[in-house]
Homo-oligomer: A and B are copies of this chain.
């Protein structure tokens, strides 16, 4: 899993508050069919039981398409649902504790917004980083101020683990995120706010495919 993690980060779909609750699995399935390479479930408001059941529902989809499922924040739900990975932010359980509890059962991604946080996360055992918000975004209200492309490039240059850009990324600006050194893009609205999530994913995927032909 970790060996192919960099590839899995290319088009990383996060569910978020923009998403209508209920039938997440259906929209995710369409998006995965459109080329999404990894899926993260964020459920900041739902009770743990609902979060767990959503994880199981989405896992049926990600398993069928052989892509990793990542759980945001809740290590216990990640383990219970048999997810591939855990994603934690700077205000979640400390990475070292998460690493210790997860053992080899989960890869772990960490949200960072500075090269210092990136280096710290790499040192403490992160498998990948989510850097952002690259651009201003309305999807993730706790994402903070936009860091911009230069800071993103600084983060990518500071660490050896792969970095995915997140925040306000769409088909128009995705190429420059990859150019800044990111292994991929993480999106919420750019896919989930569209009626046709499959087409939205496909459009993003084709931009990324072009970039990958140019970028070494």
Measured CB to CB, the residues of A under 8 A from B are 47-50, 52, 73-77, 79-80, 88-94, 97-98, 100-101
A94 partner, pick from B52, B75, B94, beta carbons under 8 A: B52
Majority SS of interface residues in chain A? helix
With both chains docked as a complex, state the minimum distance between the C-beta of A37 and any C-beta of chain B, in angstroms.
26
User: A44 — nearest CB in chain B belongs to which residue?
Assistant: B47
New A-B contacts (13) at CB < 8 Å, excluding given A48-B93, A74-B76, A75-B76: A47-B89, A47-B92, A48-B74, A48-B88, A49-B90, A49-B92, A49-B94, A52-B97, A74-B74, A79-B101, A80-B93, A80-B94, A80-B101
User: A81 — nearest CB in chain B belongs to which residue?
Assistant: B97
Alpha-carbon distance between A78 and B48 when the two chains are bound, in angstroms: 15
**Using Cβ atoms and an 8 Å threshold, which residues of chain B touch A101?**
76, 79-80
Alpha-carbon distance between A105 and B77 when the two chains are bound, in angstroms: 17
